[in-house]
Amino acid sequence: MSVETVTRVEIMRSGLIVRWAAIMGAVLLTGACTQATGLAGVGAQPPATTPAAGTQAGTGTQAGTQAGTQAGTQAGTALDPSPVPTPEHQAAELPPRGDDPIVVPPPKLSKYAYTFPVKGCETTYQRKLLVLPKTTIWAGQGCAFVAPIGGVVDEVNVQNRWRPSTDAGADREGRFVTIVGDDGVRYLGGHLDSIADGVKPGVRVKAGQVLGRVGRTGNARDTGPNLYFAISWKTGPAYWWVRRGMVEPWDYLDAWQTGNRTLSPRDETLALRGKLGETPRCTVLCASKQAPQPSKTPKPRKTDEVITLNPTIAPLGPP
């Protein structure tokens, strides 16, 4: 190797040493400004507590400082045992408020519209079969009996003919009004105290129109005021036992009062009339009491519906 070549090598080595010296000087100068954190931001002493994430990024550059600060803030928030919830967090924890309920009308069960037969008063009524398929609607004296449906007045009894001595079946409802509704069904309101003006056979009435006032006529004279309410089909006056009730009415009253005002007794009434006939015979509470009539002539007596005669006039003579 020539002297010139050796000289060039030494010069290159000297340049490298100078450069390394400059780099190490810059590093030592930077470390002196970071409160003894060591090289590349690493502390010379072991930390007493877990270092914040921000110091791991170093402080050599502005980007490292910002990243460390942000990470340290996040770590500190995570270690906070009782963080303060933000309004957005509180809103997320609360259940959503439900919408107001949607009012759904009851289904339309027929083309007819009905109304409860007592208007403007508190009422109670029987919901089971006691003796006859009718119901007693208890209401205050003078409460309005109204037409449960539009129709035509059929019968009106303005006189209270009932007498306890005879207890005639045709008179037990006292003052009463019947109408034949537009649905073809007959409705009876009995035990009335009075009949409304202008209500007479053949007059057309509207649903809810006042037909009379609740009272205690007929065999209700010893009870509280009430309305005798019955559902049947049209017959002549002689078949009073049909008028007093053939179809149980309480399910329809329940619907008209609190449920579906289009629930109609038409189908049930027509089906029962088809089964029993238009004028079925009386089977319940049919006989009236016989008023005592003094007489010298012996007359046949009824005992349990069996006629007994005086043996002296027995048609077949002695056995």
d(CA 287, CA 262) in angstroms, rounded, equals: 38
Please say whether the dihedral angle defined by the alpha carbons of residues 112, 118, 121 and 126, taken in this order, is positive or negative. negative
Residue 209: the pLDDT is 98
Q: What residue ranges do the domains of the chain occupy?
A: 1-29, 118-265
pLDDT at 319: 37
pLDDT of residue 290: 77
Pairing between β-strand 210-214 and β-strand 186-195 as defined by DSSP bridges: antiparallel
Residue 254 sits at φ, ψ, to 5 deg, of: -60, -45
Q: Residue ranges of the alpha helices (H) in 239-307?
A: 240-243, 250-258, 266-276
CATH architecture of 118-265: Distorted Sandwich (2.70)
Angle, CA 241 vertex, CA 238 and CA 243 arms, to 5°: 85
C-alpha–C-alpha distance, residues 101 and 175, integer Å: 47
How far apart CA 146 and CA 115 sit, in angstroms, is 8
Average pLDDT per 10 consecutive residues for the chain, totaling 319 residues: 55 60 61 48 48 44 52 50 66 71 84 97 95 97 98 97 95 98 98 98 98 98 97 96 98 94 98 97 92 55 37 36
Q: What is the pLDDT of residue 103?
A: 75
- Is the pTM higher than 0.85? The answer reads no
Q: How far apart are CA 57 and CA 59, in angstroms?
A: 7
Which tens digits make up the pLDDT trace of 53-98?
A: 444 444 444 554 555 455 545 544 445 556 676 766 666 666 777 7
pLDDT reported for residue 259: 84
Helices (H), 57-204: 62-79, 87-93
